[in-house]
Amino acid sequence: MRVLVGGGTGFVGRNLARLLKSNGHEVTVISRKPGPGRITWQEIPSKGLPPCDAVINLAGENIMNPLQRWTDKFKKEVTNSRVETNRVLARAIASAEKPPEAWLVVTGISFYAPSETAEYDEDSTGGDFNFFSRLVRACEAAARIPGDSAAAEVTREAVVRSGFVLGREGGAFPSMLLPFRLGLGGPIGSGCQYLPWIHVADLAGIIAHVLESKNVTGILNGVAPSFDTNKDFARALGAALNRPALLPLPAFMVNAVFGSERGEMLLEGVKVLPRRTLESGYRYAFPELGPALRDILSY
């Protein structure tokens, strides 16, 4: 397949491109910067989509950048970088002479309301209680192909709602390693909040599985099929590094660095089941936390 990947230069995109290429697909990236094997976002509205069989969007300003203050301007950038890129691609797909076979966007499990007891799957409601849940709803709405276009008939639409992505070359995990290596790591806040996570190889694997399956559509939760709390995570990471992991990071420090709105994402959790992902036939390479962390720390 010829696959077009918006935001393909990022952490998930690089892992996905490697997997797609090793499965025999061709990858073209859409980026803000031109370069070999890339097209830019500006080219899409004027020239339309290049010939392709599948389109994926992973673009988005990094939400958890601790150096970036949580200002209205930054929140707008966080929103526009996702909503507008999804909209540009959905419109281009709708007006393509030969629409692609599949169109997939990655959003997040912040769609579901934090709870220590409720269990969510892809049919659960959400998307209406805070900035991040509304952001997911807006991203998914912007990605919808207009119903009156030919593409709405022929293009399979899918959304992967991802949990915290674990890998060595991006996301929040690398910045957590130093305190844990020094024996200064531990749970965040109470540690009782659920932390839906996924190994980056499995997130890339789920996306490739959707493209290659020919009949998978709709929402899929991109989380491992095991329920772990933040405390379980700290314990497993400490064990994988052979270090104690008992020092809790207090809530007030999290809020001081990230602001209370972003801090909520770390201090509150959700229990998310990938029911449709499993039913679709996807087989996880890393369904359990310990082996996932040991794999990531081994390269």
Point out which residues bind ligand NDP (CB under 6 A). Answer: 7, 9-13, 31-33, 58-62, 77, 81-82, 85, 106, 108, 162, 164-165, 170-171
Minimum CB distance to ligand NDP, residue 164 (Å): 5
Query: Which of residues 60 and 99 has its CB atom nearest to ligand NDP in the complex?
Result: 60
Phi, psi dihedrals of residue 81, rounded to the nearest 5°: -65, -20
Residue in this structure with the two tokens 């809530």, named with its chain if needed: 251
Query: Which of residues 13 and 263 has its CB atom nearest to ligand NDP in the complex?
Result: 13
Minimum CB distance to ligand NDP, residue 156 (Å): 20
Minimum CB distance to ligand NDP, residue 150 (Å): 28
Residue in this structure with the two tokens 């020919």, named with its chain if needed: 214
Query: Which of residues 66 and 98 has its CB atom nearest to ligand NDP in the complex?
Result: 66
Minimum CB distance to ligand NDP, residue 25 (Å): 18
**Vertex 81 angle, CA 271 and 178, to 5°:** 55
Minimum CB distance to ligand NDP, residue 14 (Å): 8
Query: Which of residues 71 and 182 has its CB atom nearest to ligand NDP in the complex?
Result: 71
DSSP 182-245: TT----BTTS-SB--EEEHHHHHHHHHHHHHHSS--EEEEES-SS--BHHHHHHHHHHHHTS--
Q: Rounded to an integer, what distance in angstroms lies between the CA atom of residue 80 and that of residue 142?
A: 11
Q: Rounded to an integer, what distance in angstroms lies between the CA atom of residue 206 and that of residue 221?
A: 9
How far are the Cα atoms of 204, 220, 234 from residue 188, in angstroms, in the given order?
27, 27, 8
Minimum CB distance to ligand NDP, residue 57 (Å): 8
Query: Which of residues 86 and 280 has its CB atom nearest to ligand NDP in the complex?
Result: 86
Minimum CB distance to ligand NDP, residue 295 (Å): 17
- Looking at the DSSP bridge assignments, the partners of residue 197 are 164
Query: Which of residues 104 and 241 has its CB atom nearest to ligand NDP in the complex?
Result: 104
Minimum CB distance to ligand NDP, residue 89 (Å): 12
Q: Rounded to an integer, what distance in angstroms lies between the CA atom of residue 96 and that of residue 51?
A: 9
The answer to whether 253 and 192 are in contact (CB under 8 A) is no
Query: Which of residues 30 and 148 has its CB atom nearest to ligand NDP in the complex?
Result: 30
Residue nearest to ligand NDP (CB): 10
Query: Which of residues 1 and 64 has its CB atom nearest to ligand NDP in the complex?
Result: 64
Residues 6 or more apart whose CB falls under 8 angstroms from that of 136 comprise 107, 108, 110, 111, 126, 127, 161
